[in-house]
Amino acid sequence: MNVHRIALTMIAFTLVLALVNPAQADKYTDTIAVYKKSDAVQPFFKNAYGYAVFPTIGKGGIVVGAAYGEGQVYRGGKVTGTASLAKMSVGFQLGGQAFSQMIFFEDKRAFEEFTSGSFEFDASASAVAITAGVQAKAGTEGATAGASAGPATGAQAEKGYHKGMAVFVHAKGGLMYEAAIGGQKFSYKPKQ
């Protein structure tokens, strides 16, 4: 079977996975609650200027990979707008994965950079994992992290802001060899 056909099938599967969410009273509130259980993330809720929440990001690939998710951006506990995340990548990767992601903004500058309409993490960007079985690196460039015992702990990594942002992921299922978030592109639409 043609590698490109397989890749396109995986991309389509990824997009369907990202768009089909189980019925929830409020997927954003539920996702935030998961992150608030993590000792590693709690300080960010107390001190962040704002944050973005992506309840489900679907990611998959065979050589060519893709990821997609939709989220909301918050400032002062109120929704300021919506954001979408997209990523295409080429290189060694195999499998599919569903995860949630939170991005914390340290200050107004970082918040405005993200909400400027179009933002992209650089190639070395990665995240701190707050669930067992996932290896990642902290921040958007730099420090390393291991896996924790679960979403209620997450005290496994050097954590802090890098370039004004801190990123955390929580794996929901699937198996994926590549854990970096570098190359994720975001678009932002202010709340009307």
pLDDT digits 0-9 by tens, 111-137: 999 999 889 988 777 788 885 433 333
Average pLDDT, rounded, for the chain = 76
Q: 23 is written with which tokens?
A: 């019925």
* pLDDT tier at 101, thresholds 50, 70, 90: very high
What pLDDT score does 168 carry? 92
pTM beyond 0.85, yes or no: no
**Distance (Å) of CA 98 to CA 54, 92, 101, 103, 179:** 11, 18, 10, 17, 12
Q: Which of 52, 51, 72, 62 is nearest to 7 (CA)?
A: 62
| Residue 153 CA, distance from chain mean position | 18
Does residue 153 have a pLDDT over 70?
Answer: no
Question: To 5 degrees, how large is the angle CA 92–CA 156–CA 88?
Answer: 25
Total domains present in the chain: 1
Percentages (nearest 5) of helix, strand, coil residues in the chain: 20, 45, 35
pLDDT in tens, 28-77: 999 999 999 999 999 999 999 999 999 999 877 777 778 899 999 999 99
Domain limits at 75? 3-190
Q: Which of 51-55, 124-128, 140-144, 150-154 has the lowest average pLDDT? A: 140-144
Q: 83 is written with which tokens?
A: 């954001």
DSSP state of 142: S
